[in-house]
Amino acid sequence: MDDRMSYSHGVEQSNEQHFLEQPKVLVLDCPAIFSFHEKKFEKKFHLLKAWESPLPMEEFLKNHARSVKVILSSFKTRITADILNLLPWVELIACESTGVENIDLVECRKRGITVTNAASAFVEDVADMAIGLLLAVLMKIPAADRDVRFKLWPQNMTFPVGHFKLREKQVGIVGLGNIGLQVAKRLEAFGCSISYTSRKEKHNLSSYKYYPKTQELAINCKILIVCCALTDQTHHIINRNVMEALGKDGIVINVGRGPLIDEKELVKFLVEGKIGGAGLDVFEKEPYVPNELVELDNVVLTPHRAGFTEQAFFDDFQLLVGNIESVFSTTNPLMSPVMELV
């Protein structure tokens, strides 16, 4: 064997040894963050990519059960008691998103499994998207863009006119958490009056008016921005009664989760002109979007991408790596545990 072959063989052995020594991390579905940082994850961890395996999921999990301490979870990954039964050594579920509604938190608590999330990584960008959707709906920007792109401008001098000015309007925020607070801060620059509903009244925010019921909030606002977490209590928090209270000029923006809104009722109200418009980044049965919404000029649609910026994904990558490494280190602390489990 000449020197070059010997060197090449040595490198292969070294790479194989490094691969075997890497901490194993189970990934059930391809997470969005892999679009940006998959190679970086692979340099740090031995990724067990279940979605790429030809084996049935249950068999794949059983094969790796004894070696898996960490699951890297995408926002679409459902982690149930049945899955956890197949993975008795799991200590951490590191979720790439802020929302953890697809993870059985009660079961995790019983088993002593820690759950972490994206914390504030996406907060600023989601708040920006909420305002972007609102302005796009109010000013009918996509409809105007279409008129220019399809050469309709010269012929169509009756192009869509905006709903109303945002300045000094009453805006209701459904869920005044991290994202809701950033949305409110941005709305203050427009001179808007901020009202909100949340699990608890924020006594340190006396300049914002609190309403304990979402329907009451809708009665007193022209715009609702939905950014609360999805739970059993918030499922369809925007329902028929809330939409009726909002009225025919009202606008709904959703950057939370699709099932926060009763989508069938929303479609009906929009088609019948019972509310003024909607900006939706999320939907009840993603990626399905009702055809009626697609055809409406007073609706702006984006594909569940609020917060998807390079900076946000880099921040999220650092959080995920820090949380995962804490399992394999005696010195690295958890960076973003979900507080319900602490």
Query: Which sequence positions are flagged as catalytic?
Result: 257, 286, 304
The residues near 43 (Cβ < 8 Å, ≥ 6 apart) are none
Q: Give per-residue burial for 285-323: e unless 16+ CB within 10 Å, then b.
A: eeeebbeebeebebbbbbebebbbbeebbebbbebbbbb
Distance in angstroms (rounded) separating the CA atoms of residues 306 and 122 = 8
Alpha carbon distances (Å) from 169 to 190, 221, 224, 250, 254: 8, 8, 11, 11, 18
Helix (H) or strand (E) holding 195: strand 193-197
The residues near 38 (Cβ < 8 Å, ≥ 6 apart) are none
Tell me if residue 138 falls in helix, strand or coil.
helix
Per the CB < 8 A criterion, the answer to whether 270 and 248 are in contact is no
CA atoms within 13 A on the CB side of 60: 14
* Residue of 291, 285, 315, 326 lying closest to 126 (CA atoms): 315
Q: Which amino acid is at 158?
A: T
Distance in angstroms (rounded) separating the CA atoms of residues 249 and 71 = 45
* Residue of 76, 74, 110, 75 lying closest to 90 (CA atoms): 110
Q: Which amino acid is at 277?
A: G
